[in-house]
Structure 1
């Protein structure tokens, strides 16, 4: 029996904890809060979204040899092949803890991500030999520079479609200046500017990223929608669907998954951006990092609603 080619997501898998204040924030005192815990990490979130969209997907990551690590594997394995997640006693499972004010805006966030520094190039090579047929690779920027660089080089060498998804302004600097081998570069405005190393018009920033070697670039701009450009000349902007935001956590990861669902399904970059925005819009309307009822039918219905019926304003 021929093994199905899998989308391989490489990068972060964290436990996300949110504490929402019930009273206004004051320094130096305790506050009543409501707390929630969800599975997080950019690569992990994208993998779960893709798994819920009926795509065969595997996650290459690392967690601690602790209760948080086991919990992450358990919740993720419902939708994702988690057999390539390494457990290490060298560090705690990655955690991201956000304190939100009573309106849901972030007051403070604390990231314990030291575990990703335990990952080296040898481990990445070992995992690669076990992966089986690969249809595409998704790479976030949580791992050290040498691992990121080697994944890009491997995909270039084997001609595997590669989607790089940036994580934060500091971590975008882990990417090599040469993006040859990157098929799709998915980022937001702040991270795109940090990669290029200058401020400027979105069109100029996209040109610089294409000049660095990426074949396609997509820049998400929150309520201002999405801008995209391709080496072949396809370029444009799309307005964001008009939705009531419950929680923005995970919307960028949902966009990346919806975009990949579209582009790997044979759609143009423009149309794939519409799938991405539909996926993000669904996630924005829930308190969860990944929409708890996401499936292909729900995504197609959202796409029809927002982009077939004049849903963008």
Structure 2
């Protein structure tokens, strides 16, 4: 092999779904030359044709954000208009990415479909993720920066506010999803966050419904929940927080009864199982079969709240696909969240199946 063939083979090994045009853009080699090198690699037996690798018939495909999480925690009270002492930490983040890693740590097969920049941060993110999730459906975008999420935490670890640069997700179109539909359609469950453009989200929701694919939706934030369609027919799980539910449903949630009314309203839009989180008060759920309950969390010492919601989702889906009912799945999710709350990392390195079983037996 010559150097250009080695380069192309490296890219293909990293992402078997990469088209010849994408290989051309990434390598700087013309499209026609790429075709010639691919043909040469096939003749050498380095590639078995240009057929895509067939996805396995199980696992959870997580579609959405992967970004750098930067957290700055104040040493004391915030004093506006001046410099404030703080501690800084950087970890891999993004809702879909975090959930995929959490699932992998629990021993559940997961895949990640996302976009990152052709930059150092993108390389680092994919490197951090590939030990826990299949990243073959992810793509690196030329001339775009990997997404960043910067959170400012108070001295107790509670988030005061956050800033997000997610412009790279606007590069995702329906064609990007169609190229990866073979991977998506083979999933036990599709998980979708709301980082991608509105028309892409609606396409995925509509197609999952038409093909009978189980779908979980995670709204990510109050502004981004507005991207979702009015109908949620075919959605298996819808997991959100109070603010996201208020914005999507255009209603105020002030009492425990309001939480249940909101969750019920989500089921009337087509959701099978609606979960609304309540911070340190746990969560409530309501199902299309009119099952409803509040699940209270264990009391733990909170190190950092960032990522706790993502661990909750991973735990819920882990339990659900293991055969747990709605209540059992939610309890598993709450325990995963509590493990993450006790870690300074967005995804707790201590999270695994054994740890989950031990903590679950202590609390429930």
Check whether TM > 0.5: yes
Aligned counterpart, 1:254: 311
Q: Give the C-alpha shift of residue 100 in structure 1.
A: 2.8
Aligned counterpart, 1:230: 287
RMSD: 1.7
Contact kept, 8 Å, 1:4 with 1:56, in 2: the verdict is no
Q: Is residue 41 from structure 1 mapped to residue 98 from structure 2 by the alignment? A: no
Partner Cα separation in structure 1 for residue 55 and residue 141 of structure 2: 32
Count of aligned positions: 307
Which 5+ residue runs of structure 1 have no aligned equivalent?
Answer: 308-313
Aligned counterpart, 1:79: 132
Pick one of 221, 230, 242 that aligns with 1:177: 230
What is the correspondence of 1:1-313 to structure 2 with a 5 Å cutoff?
Answer: 3-22=56-75, 24-131=77-184, 133-200=186-253, 201-307=258-364
Please identify runs of 4+ aligned residues in structure 1 that moved more than 6 A. Answer: none
Deviations 1:129-165, CA, capped at 9 Å, x for gaps: 3556211101111111111111111111111111111
DSSP 3-state at the match of 2:168: helix
Partner Cα separation in structure 1 for residue 301 and residue 55 of structure 2: 45
Aligned counterpart, 2:10: none
Residues 30 and 80 of structure 1: CA distance in aligned 2, closer, same or farther (over 3 Å) = same
Partner Cα separation in structure 2 for residue 150 and residue 132 of structure 1: 14
Q: Give the C-alpha shift of residue 29 in structure 1.
A: 3.2
Q: Give the C-alpha shift of residue 90 in structure 1.
A: 3.7
Q: Give the C-alpha shift of residue 292 in structure 1.
A: 0.3
Structure richer in strand, relative to its length: 1
Partner Cα separation in structure 1 for residue 157 and residue 309 of structure 2: 18
Which 5+ residue runs of structure 2 have no aligned equivalent?
Answer: 1-53
DSSP 3-state at the match of 1:122: helix
Partner Cα separation in structure 1 for residue 55 and residue 71 of structure 2: 43
Structure richer in helix, relative to its length: 2
The structure, 1 or 2, with the larger RCO (C-alpha pairs under 8 Å, 6+ apart) is 1
Contact kept, 8 Å, 1:90 with 1:115, in 2: the verdict is no
Contact kept, 8 Å, 2:284 with 2:295, in 1: the verdict is yes
| TM-score, normalisation: structure 1 | 0.94
Contact kept, 8 Å, 2:157 with 2:305, in 1: the verdict is no
Contact kept, 8 Å, 1:5 with 1:132, in 2: the verdict is no
